[in-house]
Amino acid sequence: MWLYLVAVLAGLFLLRRWHRERQTVPGLSEKYVLITGCDSGFGNLLARQLEARGLRVLAACLTETGAARLRAAASPRLQTVLLDVTSSRSIAAATAWVRECVGDRGLWGLVNNAGIAIPTAPNEWLTKDDFVKVLDVNLVGLIEVTLSLLPLVRQARGRVVNVASVMGRLSFFGGGYCISKFGVEAFSDSLRIEMRDFGVKVSVIEPGYFKTLISNAENLESNYLSIWEKLPEETRESYGENYLKESLVMVRKMQKRCSSNLTLVTDCMEHALTSRFPRTRYSAGWDAKLLYLPLSYLPSALTDVVCTWSYPKPAQKASGRDAA
């Protein structure tokens, strides 16, 4: 009896959610959306996807080559601007340009998509500058872009969509990438609470492993090798050559497992921008839904076992007495 009641209630809940999420905001053809990181990957695909949907897209690219290629593939509804999210001057110039474009309408959507993945390696192999390089793009740049454009988003009672990662919940590898994505989650949560009374909705996209990450990290193996060569001899002896070889094998396996269906992510972004009732968080990819997110809720002891199951083993392990 109780089982049937729970099933009926769950069915009604899912039906209501399905109905709410199918409702779109009116007047999409008059709404402006700025997307960062549009040279390639998610940003590039989303810009073309939203332009085809009829929205007015302001695509921020790092290079003129990327901007020109994107303009050639779209209609005049899509405009481009050069933006380096690590440069305050570049952000200020882009903000002034956006203000001029949107006028009194305000900015309906801001999609913080720009990001990098390398340098990445075991934490002990890296320097402070290696961490800062990633954090400047993925976190500090995202924050500065958001703060600069937030008045225009408030004016439109619009949306902020931040691209985090499942690695923002569960840190599988060293370097600034996972740290930055944890930071994106925290910033988004506080921003969502603060903007609620202004009518601004904040969503977080949490993709699993996709080809766009690998396109940013296509030189990941050479990255590992160059970092390894700079390590002190003592550190290399502690880890051992076999650790390096197994790490490279793990990288190659990760590359093969990455999904090439980027629309799984861009569809989530589009929904967050166009639905009357966007979700707070979107998990994109079956690996995110069925593996990484469930793992993030397990006790740390169990998560550590799963995470280190196929992890490379260092040459010099702690003895039983040392480990205790």
Closest C-alpha to 160, from 150, 148, 169: 150
SS3 readout for the chain: CHHHHHHHHHHHHHHHHHHHHCCECCCHHHCEEEECCCCCHHHHHHHHHHHHHCCEEEEEECCHHHHHHHHHCCCCCEEEEECCCCCHHHHHHHHHHHHHHHHHHCCCEEEECCCCCCCCCCHHHCCHHHHHHHHHHHHHHHHHHHHHHHHHHHHHCCEEEEECCHHHCCCCCCCHHHHHHHHHHHHHHHHHHHHHHHCCEEEEEEECCEHHHHHHCCCHHHHHHHHHHCCCHHHHHHHCHHHHHHHHHHHHHHHHHCECCCHHHHHHHHHHHHECCCCCEEEECHHHHHHHHHHHCCCHHHHHHHHCCCCCCCCCCCCHHHHC
Active site residue 32: no
Query: Which one is catalytic: 32, 177, 243, 292?
Result: 177
| Residues carrying an active site annotation | 177
